[in-house]
Structure 1
Amino acid sequence: MELQITATAPEHPASLLDLPWDVPLEKWPDEYLVALPRGISRHVVRFARAGDEIIAVKEVGEWAAVREYGLLKDLDKLAVPAVDPVAVVTGRSDAGGEPLEPVLITRLLKGSLPYRAMFETTMRPGTVRRLLDALAVLLVRLHLSGFAWGDCSLSNTLFRRDAGAFAAYLVDAETGQLQPELTRGQRDYDLEIARVNIAGELMDLEAGGSLHPSVDPVSFGEEIVERYGELWHELTRTSVYPRDKRHYIDRRIRRLNDLGFDVAEMQIQRSPDGDAVTFLPKVVDAGHHQRQLLRLTGLDTEENQARSLLNDLETWMTTQDDYAPGDPLGARPEVLAHRWVRDVFRPAVRAVPRELREGADTAQIYHELMEHRWLLCEEAGHDVGLQATVEDYVRRARERRA
């Protein structure tokens, strides 16, 4: 049988031909390999250089390799966080003509680490929780896409920190199934597998002295089930709001914030019945909102102020006619953010007389206006608008000073 390379892009076969496919993967010479942290795997996995790319090469049976390759391509189309498939190599044989196992090739996920590499120094309990929250986000997104993992674990996940955000990526789809929609039983099965696997993996770290003494493997394994349930409910329940109920959107964001999740992306679809809102959650580290707001607007604030301002900015963006995420013809976030500062933030703050600010900076004043707007909207049962909010805020501030 002749060597055959099935690849996702035309340039890949040429860059892959120079690799020693006639040698078992575990015996590849160092000149082809790249020394990077590897997770635990049932199969032989190596990192190698192919042209300008670093790839992960996994030896696995032909049926499994072709199937996983197809699943990863499907997940990529669904925009689910997973490693990118590059190629499947079949028809391998050694110098003596003996057949060798086919391989699945994926692209290295830059900046990512397997969980064991992240635990090389004892990780604080709060950081462990954020990693598990990131895994809960991944599992929810997979299930929403109709993907039953079948083997959810820390070992089958890569973690990446990006500007303070924690993200989890599926790295092993071998046991997965993609369907139009999952049943409750299929989701519960994945959760039970996740609970058992995570508890066992944390116990293994505990035995090796790499787990913080305050982290209980069993309770942390159970915690991911709870976090998944909270997030699943908040993301999947009906959310079509009348157009004059903007504060309902704020309410949903606040509930996600209270659960410890932030909104990575918000999509609003206009319909005759109202605005259908879809949220994409993420897990963030301390200081993320400050950096994000500073990058978009130039405003340097405290973290809680930044979160409040970003939530308002992102909600406002979705109301703009030229807001089109991912559309090159739509306004870039930086352009919209500049417009928000000019047309919304500054006018609102300037409408509050200096003598009523009591030494608060502009970010704090706007944050207080957002809190006041939230209370007024809850009382009125509809969105009262920013102008009415400012007027009521100023009136009450004057009454307090009188």
Structure 2
Amino acid sequence: MALHISATNAEHPVLLLELPWDIPLERWPEKHLVPLPRGISRHVVRYARAGDEVIAVKELAERPAVREYGLLRDLDRLGIPAVDALAVVTGRVDAAGEPLEPALITRHLGGSMPYRSMFETTLRPATMHRLMDALAVLLVRLHLAGFAWGDCSLSNTLFRRDAGAYAAYLVDAETGELHPRLSTGQREYDLDLARVNISGELLDLEASGALHPSVDPIEFGTEICARYGSLWQELTRTSVYPAGKHHYMERRIRRLNDLGFDVAEMQIDHSSHGDTVTFVPKVVDAGHHQRQLLRLTGLDAEENQARRLLNDLESWMATQDDRDARPEVLAHRWVRDVFRPTVRAVPAELRGSMDAAEIYHELLEHRWYLSERAQHDIGLDTAVQDYIENILPKARETLEPTGPE
């Protein structure tokens, strides 16, 4: 039997040939291995170095190895956060000619850690909530894509922070199934498995003394399911907005914000009946919006201001005909054609100590209030005029000293 490597890239087989495939994985020499934290697994799993890359090697039978390899590639095509499948190695034999189990090769996700190892450290409450949110987002995205995981657990999930964003990644797809669409029963079954697995692993950590006392294993598993339910409902509701009702889209964004999620991507489909909106959520770290707004527009704002301005920018970009243009290009156009003219419409003598970002934030809030009251989008120009005539004079009266009585 000859060694055979099926790979996604022509370079990988050459690099992988340098590894000791004639030795069982659990006995690989230390010189090939990379000491990285990993979760528990029913299979032997090791991290190794192949050229400049760190890879994860998992021994399992040929059929499930090939199947998982295909599923991971499918998830990559669907844009789902999961590890990259690199190769399947078959035809392994040891020095005596005895067959060895095939191996599935995936790329190690740089800067990531298994969820299980995260709970072996002291977690701040805010970090724990972001971990829950990120895992809920992953489950929702998998189910929206028609993927039933069948084995969601802390060990099968990687956690990663990237430029302020918190994200969970699928590691093990061995038990997964990809369908055109999941039924409610399939989703609920998958979610129940996740709850039992996650709470079970946390109970195991608690019994070993590795879990922080502030984490309740049962409550944590239940809370992830609750977060999933709220997010699923908000994301899967099909809303068709009539022309002139764009403030309804902002209402949807605000509800996601209230759930603790930010909109990473918004898609608007136009039809004869109205506009259908699709959202993609993400979990972010403190200060993310400030950094993102500064990078895209050069505007320096406070975190809440930046979040509000980014929401407006995202909504505006989704309505542009050339949505395929780079975000930086569209953001520059938004600053030039929307942000600056709107701020300049407010007379300098009426602005007081408010900077440009605060003025625009106030105008957006006023537009939202007036649009809700009118039940249609009144537009920025009307909001600016009303703000100048009815809001700023009252604000100045409040700020002006009354003098001695």
TM-score range relative to shorter protein: over 0.9
SS of residue matched to 1:109: coil
**Could you tell me how far apart the structure 1 residues matched to 2:346 and 2:90 are?**
70
**Could you tell me how far apart the structure 2 residues matched to 1:212 and 1:359 are?**
46
Q: TM-score, normalised by structure 2?
A: 0.95
SS of residue matched to 1:80: coil
Q: How does 1:1-400 map to 2 (within 5 A)?
A: 1-324=1-324, 331-400=325-394
Counterpart residue identity of residue 387, structure 1: D
Check whether the contact 1:122–1:210 (CA below 8 A) recurs between aligned residues: no
Which residue in 1 is equivalent to 2:403?
Answer: none
1:397, distance to aligned residue in structure 2 (A): 2.4
* Deviations 1:75-104, CA, capped at 9 Å, x for gaps: 111111111111111111100011101000
1:47, distance to aligned residue in structure 2 (A): 1.2
**Against the structure 1 CA distance between its residues 396 and 209, is the aligned structure 2 distance closer, same or farther, given a 3 Å change threshold?**
farther
1:176, distance to aligned residue in structure 2 (A): 0.6
SS of residue matched to 2:371: helix
**Against the structure 1 CA distance between its residues 398 and 172, is the aligned structure 2 distance closer, same or farther, given a 3 Å change threshold?**
closer
SS of residue matched to 1:269: strand
**Could you tell me how far apart the structure 2 residues matched to 1:395 and 1:351 are?**
12
1:317, distance to aligned residue in structure 2 (A): 1.0
| Stretch moving more, 349-358 or 332-341 | 349-358
Check whether the contact 1:144–1:181 (CA below 8 A) recurs between aligned residues: yes
1:399, distance to aligned residue in structure 2 (A): 4.6
* Deviations 1:33-67, CA, capped at 9 Å, x for gaps: 22222221111111112223221100011111011
* Deviations 1:83-137, CA, capped at 9 Å, x for gaps: 1111111111100011101000011111111123323430112211111110110
Check whether the contact 1:123–1:211 (CA below 8 A) recurs between aligned residues: no
SS of residue matched to 1:123: coil
**Could you tell me how far apart the structure 2 residues matched to 1:368 and 1:114 are?**
42
SS of residue matched to 1:278: strand
Counterpart residue identity of residue 267, structure 2: Q
Check whether the contact 1:88–1:103 (CA below 8 A) recurs between aligned residues: yes
* Deviations 1:275-320, CA, capped at 9 Å, x for gaps: 2211111111111111111111111111111100000011111122
SS of residue matched to 2:42: coil
Check whether the contact 2:119–2:212 (CA below 8 A) recurs between aligned residues: no
Counterpart residue identity of residue 3, structure 1: L
Counterpart residue identity of residue 391, structure 1: Q
SS of residue matched to 2:283: strand
Check whether the contact 1:158–1:169 (CA below 8 A) recurs between aligned residues: yes
SS of residue matched to 2:197: helix
**Could you tell me how far apart the structure 2 residues matched to 1:125 and 1:194 are?**
21
Check whether the contact 2:38–2:155 (CA below 8 A) recurs between aligned residues: no
Unaligned runs of 5+ in 2: 398-405
Q: TM-score, normalised by structure 1?
A: 0.95
**Could you tell me how far apart the structure 1 residues matched to 2:251 and 2:97 are?**
66
Check whether the contact 2:121–2:212 (CA below 8 A) recurs between aligned residues: no
Check whether the contact 1:268–1:318 (CA below 8 A) recurs between aligned residues: yes
Please report the RMSD computed on the Cα atoms of aligned residues, expressed in angstroms.
1.4
Query: What is the aligned residue count?
Result: 396
